[in-house]
A and B are shown apart, each in its own frame.
Chain A
């Protein structure tokens, strides 16, 4: 496997993980909104944001990633592998599709920053839509 193929593989796997991450937020926020009594929603959201850490063992608690931290990690791997792809040989003309993809990615980062602080179903839907939009636009890039 050449370096270019390995980088493309990492890029694809990180895209899959990122979509899974935003799908998780959608499922979780919609599920929380349906919860009765509504007074439970805020403490459960706070418990999830602060208490769900990864990896769940081995690493000291303070060094474990929160859920938003995981999202930032996936985004960072996606961006770095995307940059590496362009350096490793995939020469895309800076045309419409790439420009829109990068704009959607910036919007996704902004939505994620807000989602990590105050998750709502609307924001989760927007984030998942943006993530899928980035994936769809990747298909249009020349191979």
Chain B
């Protein structure tokens, strides 16, 4: 395993943990646990799950460092985004789109964090799905 492989593995692992937790909690386990009867049992189970702090910021830190390394490995720098040269290639436009979405997700994390956001969470999940789509296009497209 090369350093590049290690960095990609960390990037994918952090993304799976962060996004997987968000998707599974928001779409599957959260709604399912709410329906357990009696309601006190459901509340007790939900309380049990709160011992663990948020994964968002640590995962984002890993994603930022490993993402920047991969960009540099591919010969792309943030300066190329600033002066617009990145947008001249299809891959550059995909990276720019992905970065824009990631910025939006960081904004969500800043504003809402772990607080309930019944509508905004769906925009965040849509952004996450698009980020995953952009990643597939970058690697396989």
A interface with B by C-beta (< 8 Å): 4-5, 8-9, 12-13, 15-21, 23-24, 27-28, 30-32, 34-35, 40, 43-44, 47-48, 51-56, 67, 70, 132, 135-136, 138-140, 143
Count, chain B residues at interface, CB 8 A: 43
Which residues in B have their C-beta under 8 angstroms from that of A139? 5, 8-9, 12
Distance in Å: Cβ of B122 to nearest Cβ of chain A: 16
Chain B nearest Cβ from A87, distance in angstroms: 15
Residue in contact with A48 in the complex, picked from B8, B37, B45, B140, CB distance below 8 Å? B45
Overall SS of chain B's interface: helix
Please determine whether B15 and A35 come into contact, CB atoms closer than 8 angstroms.
no
B135: contacting residue among A12, A27, A56, A140, CB under 8 A:
A12
Bound together, the chains give a CA A98 to CA B125 distance in angstroms of 31
B52, A27: Cβ atoms under 8 Å?
Answer: yes
Total number of residue pairs linking A and B with CB closer than 8 Å: 121
Q: Nearest CB to that of B36 among chain A residues?
A: A51
B residues near A, CB below 8 A?
Answer: 1, 5, 8-9, 12-13, 15-17, 19-25, 28-29, 31-37, 41-42, 44-45, 48-52, 129, 132-133, 135-137, 139-141
Whether the pair B132, A9 counts as a contact (CB closer than 8 A) is yes
Chain A nearest CB: distance from B129 CB in Å?
Answer: 7
* B90: min CB distance to chain A, Å: 14
**Cross-chain contact of A54 among B1, B19, B31, B37 (Cβ < 8 A):** B31
Q: Report the minimal beta-carbon distance from B44 to chain A, rounded to whole angstroms.
A: 6
CB of A52 within 8 A of CB of B36, answer yes
Contact A44 B24 (CB under 8 A): no
